[in-house]
Structure 1
Amino acid sequence: RHTPPGGRVQMTLRRLDDGGVEVRVRDTGPGISEADLPHVFDRFYRAAPPGQAASAPAGGTGLGLAIVRSIMRLHGGSASAESREGHGATIVLRFPAAGS
């Protein structure tokens, strides 16, 4: 939804030194503003697309990333977001090693 037509969504996986796994999902969309970035995992938070007024948030309910974070925490993992406005966003999921 946040990647324009012709844009890309890329997923990479890597094993961490502690045996866990990191999954990165990166898009070529508009990115997330610095002001919105700390809130993207908050329930019902909907960031306005860059360049638009905060009163015009993107579609959706604002629950998707909040659910992702809850599931990751239930499994002992973590979820974080990285972005440079105008250069896409990356969601980082870190899964613990099996049995840890």
Structure 2
Amino acid sequence: MVLDIPGDLTEAALDRTRISQVVGNLLENAIVNTPEGGVVTVTAETGRSAVTISVSDTGPGITPEDAERVFDRFYRVDPSRSRATGGAGLGLTIARQLIESHGGAIWVDGATGQGSTFIFTLPLNRDSE
């Protein structure tokens, strides 16, 4: 695993427990989809109005069709792997709901055979709740 997180990363007003849950869900997804010897990378950077976090893997990637549905409840890119990898198909759905509840956005980039990168942004100017 590679972590690329600057020491001066700006703090955002957020529910740390919930955002930790999001990162955990994305890491679990990346680890499950990365073959032995592959790499999972987590990066973070601060922009003018948002912090951006990404979790990338060197797994099988994702088709454009699957990328459109991967955040849907119970959707599994490869249902045949459900028994081997576990999970209910809710982790990415929950991640999207939590990020959106913080005023952020989440999406996936990738292509078949090129791994996937899940990216989310959180606003820096959100008032504490």
**TM-score, L = length of structure 2:** 0.67
Give identity over the alignment, percent.
39
Once the two structures are TM-superposed, the CA of residue 62 in structure 1 deviates from its matched residue by: 1.1
User: Which residue of structure 2 aligns with residue 87 of structure 1?
Assistant: 114
Residues 2, 29 of structure 1: 8 Å contact kept: yes
Question: Higher helix proportion, which one?
Answer: 2
1:9 aligns with 2:9: no
Aligned residue number for residue 81 of structure 2:
58
- 2:64 match: secondary structure: coil
Q: Deviations over 1:2-27 (max 9, x none)?
A: 00011000011111122x10001000
Unaligned runs of 5+ residues in structure 2 are 1-31
Runs of 4 or more off by more than 2 Å in structure 1?
A: none
Q: Distance in 2 between matches of 1:91 and 1:45?
A: 16
1:47–1:57: 8 Å Cα contact kept in structure 2? no
RMSD: 1.3
Query: How many residue pairs were aligned?
Result: 92
Cα deviation, 1:63-99, whole Å, max 9, x if unaligned, reads: 0100000000111111101111101000001011133
CA 1:58–1:16 in structure 2 vs 1: closer, same or farther (change >3 Å)? farther
Could you tell me which runs of 5 or more consecutive residues in structure 1 were left unpaired when the two chains were aligned. Answer: 49-55
